[in-house]
A and B are shown apart, each in its own frame.
Chain A
Amino acid sequence: MKPENAIEVHNLEKSFKVYYDKGSTFKEKVLFTKRNRYEVRHVLRGISFEVKKGEAIGLIGHNGCGKSTTLKLLTRIIYPDSGTIEMAGRVASLIELGAGFHPDMSGRENIYINAAIFGLTKKEIDARLNDIIAFSELEEFIDNPVRTYSSGMYMRLAFAVAINVDADILLVDEILAVGDAGFQAKCFNKMREIKGSGTTIVIVSHALNQIEQICDRSIWIHEGVIKAEGLPRDVDPLYMIYMSSRASGNAQAVELARAADAAKGGYNRAEDKNRWGSGEVIMTSVTCYNDKGEDVRAFASNESCNIEIKYNAVYKIEDTVIGLAVYRDDNSHVYGTNTLIDTSEPVVLEGDGTAVLKIKRLPLNEGVYKIDFELHKPDGFDYDFWKEALRITVSNPHQEAGIISLEHEWTID
């Protein structure tokens, strides 16, 4: 194993026997041999990858592609048919939260039981106890039996234990669905903090935006093999294009409508590498204006900026989220928001229309900025994603450093 690697996976293969009607008692095994017919399903057909220490990777792919199996193999819950897995350091998994919780015991006692299952000693748990309780926000209830907890409280406690294990490698399966929005944000920040402290992270998720925010690399697993691997910003779009081509539903109708648009001399989305999505509603144009109302791409720092998105919906769509993300040209994520974050209600779009976002000031330093726009469902399913739809240059006469320009003032006595 190379010293700089935390995980090395070589040529992993795994198949499961899927029984048609499984008998597990002796009688059934002997008398009904026919019932023991099974089908061998090859879930993984040779997967190899390496993860460096401190790196975060995301495993993506549609349901049943083998990404969760890969994660289970990494946790050593199941074992591969062939191939090897090597890992360096303590492994913790956020796969099953609250394993071993005893409903009649108090929150505090359960912290000890649960943390012990992660392989912590009494001393190590004592040292973390206060952090765990504080993170779970359950100070008042910590000595009550866990059966009196609400499901949200239960998950908060479980998550607090799991995330405070201080593992070298953290394996995560769709975690950030814990608790209310506030707690989710907290979990997310904690994940970033953990990553910052040098922990290696492997995430399985359908929420690509989470992967893009945390991971350095995406691995797309398809039918048991790695189909693509690279920066999330490069790999995730490929996956999304594949997924939207698979999503049948209204696909045909949408395709016809969009083809008609293209025939009329309109803009052909399908040929643009930077666009993907199912197309029920699309952005027909995205422009930005300065405070004089001029359509420009060059702004001064702290100037105002109005962004106008024109859209067209094939039919009435009641669950749209309009979002944008700003990146500097070195791919640092500068800012992101969407209508769901700002109003917590999905937007209803029908026919043709315009959405305007007014930004009072651009507190940016000198540089080139790229803006991605997205129309999607609240669960992340893309109607239309437009990568780098706008490129703007910002000039700042002051020689300030960093991405943003903080409003500031010196006082010197």
Chain B
Amino acid sequence: MKKAKELYAYREMIASLVKRELRGRYKGAVLGFLWNFLNPLLQLIVYTLVFSVIMRAGIEKYYIFLFVALVPWIFFSSALTGGSSCILANQDLVKKIYFPREVLPIAHTTATFVNMLLSFVVVFAVLIVTGFGINPVACLFLPIIMIVEYVICLGMCMIFSALTVYVRDMQNIMAIVAMAWQFLTPVMYGQQMVEGALANHPLMMTIWNYNPTTPLINAYRQILYYKEIPDMHYIGMALLLGIVVCIIGWAVFEKLQKGFAEEL
């Protein structure tokens, strides 16, 4: 409770770090802040060219199928990989001045979250402009999914940012883990493909479904690609998992943060 109050007092620091990260990233570039939109748009064009001209996938409008899952995935993976180094990157601050250390993972996760929101502006523009269309009722569930994902990302970011201070290899390990994790989550393929392949292995299917990112990514796709109301049962499970991850993350962080200044 005391910690929450203190973090609230430091809200301006969180806000200014988020601003610094978003504005600092493209500072000096001619197009500046516009890159936040341009970057996802150009990626989408590349995927469209590759998958509708060169590698035809068996899924209709595959570039949209892929893209509505890829944008939230990028948020998750950058919270994981970038997040693991977010305390190292700010070591000058940590070594020399007091502030609640939780500010750093919170600011990093929030900045990548805002980045995802900006990419979604492009996603929506594409959905409308191409005539693919959206289901407004299903879209009402989008914020819930996003918050669940934010909670999971924050927990992950806290655990790995704190561990990286003690074991520097964590940054490199997380880069590989994030890549492997991407292939274990239905980002580039659909849930049906897995269900088909694992039809005779119910145990493996259960394990598969415990991956917290699976129901999340599926929910994004259900809302935006299939234009359906997402399966709230899975979302509830993901939220539960997210809260558990967040509590563990906070506990690990609290334990490790006392030694930050000495380890850096």
Contacts and interface: CB of A to CB of B under 8 A. Distances in A.
B233 interface: no
Given A26-B167, A99-B96, A116 B24 contact: no
Contact of B10 (A25, A93, A104, A119): A119
A16 interface: yes
Contacts of A77: 94-98, 261
Contacts of B56: none
Contacts of A120: 12
Interface in A280-339: none
Given A91-B98, A117-B93, A16 B262 contact: yes
B102 to A, nearest CB: 13
Given A77-B261, A121-B12, A113 B20 contact: yes
Interface residues of B, number: 28
Contacts of A25: 167-169
Contacts, number: 76
Interface in A112-129: 112-113, 115-117, 119-122, 125
**Could you say which interface size class chain A belongs to?**
20 to 34
Nearest to A26: B169
A121 B11 contact: yes
Contacts of B13: 116-117, 119
A75 B12 CA distance: 20
A95 interface: yes
Interface string A120-157: 11100100000000000000000000000000000000
A24 interface: yes
Interface in B133-162: none
A36 to B, nearest CB: 13
A93 B16 contact: no
A24 B98 contact: no
A392 interface: no
Interface in B184-214: none
Contact of B12 (A91, A102, A125): A125
A104 B27 CA distance: 7
A115 B15 CA distance: 12
B92 interface: yes
A37 B11 CA distance: 42
Nearest to B169: A26
Nearest to A114: B16
Nearest to B13: A116
B97 A75 contact: yes
B98 A105 contact: no
A100 B168 contact: no
Contacts of A16: 262
Contacts of A125: 12
Contacts of A116: 10, 12-13, 15-17
A76 interface: yes
Contacts of A79: 258-259
A93 B261 CA distance: 16
- The 8 A-B pairs at the shortest CB distance, nearest first, are namely A96-B96, A116-B13, A116-B12, A79-B258, A116-B16, A76-B98, A113-B16, A99-B97
Given A78-B258, A113-B20, A117-B13, 20 more contacts: A24-B167, A25-B168, A25-B169, A78-B262, A79-B259, A91-B98, A96-B95, A96-B97, A99-B93, A99-B97, A100-B93, A100-B97, A104-B28, A105-B20, A117-B93, A117-B99, A119-B10, A121-B9, A122-B12, A125-B12
5 contacts: A77-B98, A96-B92, A100-B92, A102-B24, A120-B12
Interface of A: 16, 24-26, 72, 75-79, 91, 93, 95-96, 99-100, 102, 104-105, 112-113, 115-117, 119-122, 125
Interface of B: 9-13, 15-17, 20, 23-24, 27-28, 92-99, 167-169, 258-259, 261-262
